[in-house]
C-alpha cells in the first residue's frame, strides 16, 4: 500500500508506514539510526528493504557524517534519532551546514508530553534551540497527517534545495511510553 492508494490510512495510527512511502518516493537509499521506540516501525520497514542500506550507529553524530558522505557519492539518506541524540550531533552538523549538503533528520521527541522520565526533559527542551543555533531548519508535527506532509516537503527542500532539515515528531503524537 502506498500513500497514493484510494483507501486512506488512519494516519493517527499508521503514520510510520506512510512516512516510509514518502521517503521511498523521495529516493532515499541509505538510512541510519540510533533506535527509539517511536522509530521502530520505520526501522523495521527499511531493514526489510533491499534497496536501502541501513546503518546502526553507536552515537547519533555518526549518522550526520554518513549522510554527508552518501550525498558526496550521489545517494540520498535519512537519519533517525531520539531527541536525546540531537545534543550529540551539534559539532558534526557543521559538516553538512558548511558544505551545504542535503540532510534530513527525523527526531522523535521525549521529555515534553506525558513524560515519565525527568532525565529526558533537559535535552528535549534544548532540541529546537540547539538545532537552530547550528543552522539546521526545524519543522515539527503533532499529528500523523501533518507529519507525513511535513516529511514529504522537508525531503524536497533538503534534496532539491541543499537544505539541512530536522523534522521533530511530537511526543503527543507518539503517545505515552508504556512501563
Task: Return residues touching other proteins (CB under 8 A).
Answer: 29-30, 53, 55-59, 61-62, 64-75, 77, 91-92, 94-95, 98-101, 160-162
Q: What is the closest distance, in whole angstroms, from the C-beta atom of residue 26 to other proteins in the complex? A: 15
For other proteins, the closer of residues 12 and 56 by Cβ is 56
Of 120 and 163, which has the nearer Cβ to other proteins? 163
Q: In the complex with other proteins, which residue's Cβ is closer, 44 or 172?
A: 44
| Least distance between other proteins and beta carbon 79 (Å) | 10
CB atoms within 10 A of CB 132: 12
Q: Which three cell numbers stand for residue 44?
A: 523495521
Q: Are 107 and 86 in contact (CB under 8 A)?
A: yes
CB-wise, 88 or 171, nearer to other proteins? 88
Query: Residue 64 or 141: which CB sits closer to other proteins?
Result: 64
CB of 137 to other proteins, least distance (A): 15
Q: Smallest distance, Å, CB 88 to other proteins?
A: 11
DSSP symbols for the chain: --TTSSS---HHHHHHHHHHHHHHHTTEEEEEE---GGGHHHHHHHHT-TTSEEEE-SSTHHHHHHHHHHHHTT-EEEEEEEHHHHHHHTGGGHHHHHTT--EEEEEE--SSSS-S-GGGHHHHHHHHHHHHHHT-EEEEESSHHHHHHHHHHHHHHHHHHT-EEEEEE-HHHH-PPP-
In the complex, minimum distance from the CB of residue 138 to other proteins, in angstroms, rounded to a whole number: 20
Amino acid at each position: 500500500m502506498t500513500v497514493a492508494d484510494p483507501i486512506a490510512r488512519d494516519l493517527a495510527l499508521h503514520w510510520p508506514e506512510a512516512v516510509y512511502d514518502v521517503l521511498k518516493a523521495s529516493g532515499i537509499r541509505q538510512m541510519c539510526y540510533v533506535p527509539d521506540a517511536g522509530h521502530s516501525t520505520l526501522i523495521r520497514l527499511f531493514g526489510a528493504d533491499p534497496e536501502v542500506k541501513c546503518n546502526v550507529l553507536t552515537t547519533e553524530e555518526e549518522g550526520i557524517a554518513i549522510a554527508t558522505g552518501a550525498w558526496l557519492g550521489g545517494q540520498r539518506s535519512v537519519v533517525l534519532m531520539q531527541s536525546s541524540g540531537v545534543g550529540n550531533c551539534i559539532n558534526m552538523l557543521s559538516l553538512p551546514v558548511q558544505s551545504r549538503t542535503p540532510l534530513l533528520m527525523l527526531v522523535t521527541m521525549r521529555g515534553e508530553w506525558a513524560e515519565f522520565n525527568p532525565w529526558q526533559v533537559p535535552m528535549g527542551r534544548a532540541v529546537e534551540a540547539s538545532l537552530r543555533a547550528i543552522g539546521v531548519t526545524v519543522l515539527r508535527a503533532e499529528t500523523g497527517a501533518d507529519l507525513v506532509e511535513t516529511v514529504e516537503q522537508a525531503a524536497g527542500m533538503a534534496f532539491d534545495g541543499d537544505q539541512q532539515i530536522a523534522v521533530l515528531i511530537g511526543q503527543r503524537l507518539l503517545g505515552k511510553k508504556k512501563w
